[in-house]
Amino acid sequence: MLIAIPDVLDAEALARVRAVIDTADWVDGNATSGYQSALAKRNHQLPEESPAAQEAGALVLDALGRNPLFIAAALPLKIYPPLFNSYEGGETFGVHIDSAIRIRRGTDFRVRTDLSATLFLEDPEAYDGGELTIEGQFGAQQVKLPAGHMILYPSSSLHRVEPVTRGRRLGSFFWIQSMVRDSEARRTLFEMDTAIQTVAQDRGQDDPAIIQLTGVYHNLLRRWADS
């Protein structure tokens, strides 16, 4: 399931993130690649432990914590600290699949990668190419969102970043370990939550049926969630 999440960063937050990363020093993106990814990856990245990456990452995490659509869709248990990448001059990331476990170097922090996220930090009119192409059961889908918007997709998906032929594509990327490991269970919960919220707009949160359905949602979450 691909879920586009608009306005994760509003204009002010986006400007703050860009102010931090635009003046930072970037390195070869393969600094954090696994063996397979290194064969396909040509881009630049902020060093994971750099002050700029940590400051900008904290801004992204703060925004995610206030976004109800992200919480409902991901049901996050752990989030790998956001990383930042840049593509220009034909740079690309060929077809690959994300590692099942991401371990932060020098720590015991690790995340099972249930979901991957790309947060776009440059408007699509500013560059050509750079689409995130995600392969799923219904074929390949290309994603290129406005700055501040994010796409959430299964980490088990084959995906790639198309070559950037004009301008510069900037983004933040990270992985989420969900409280609900099973993707179909997570989809069911998201669809139920969305339906409950839609009906509640007409009937009110205190409607007996809404209260009952909310109870069913939480009982399913209780049954399926890891902690």
Query: What confidence tens digit (pLDDT) does each residue in 59-69 have?
Result: 999 999 999 99
Residue 174 and residue 208 in one domain: no
The pTM (predicted TM-score) of the whole model is: 0.93
Total tally of structural domains belonging to the chain: 2
Residue 89 and residue 192 in one domain: no
Q: What percent of the chain shows pLDDT beyond 90?
A: 90
Provide the CATH number for the domain around residue 153.
2.60.120.620
Residue 188 and residue 161 in one domain: no
> What's the mean pLDDT in 177-195?
97
- Answer yes or no: is 149 a known binding residue: no
Domain of 198, in residue numbers: 183-224
Count of residues in the chain: 227
- Answer yes or no: is 96 a known binding residue: yes
Residue 61 and residue 118 in one domain: yes
Higher-scoring residue by pLDDT: 38, 21: 21
What's the confidence (pLDDT) of residue 36? 57
Quick check: 227 pLDDT over 90? no
> What's the mean pLDDT in 34-46?
76
- Answer yes or no: is 169 a known binding residue: yes
- Answer yes or no: is 186 a known binding residue: no
From the number of C-beta atoms within 10 Å of its C-beta (0-12, 13-18, 19+), residue 212 rates as exposed
Quick check: 129 pLDDT over 60? yes
Quick check: 114 pLDDT over 60? yes
Residue 57 and residue 93 in one domain: yes
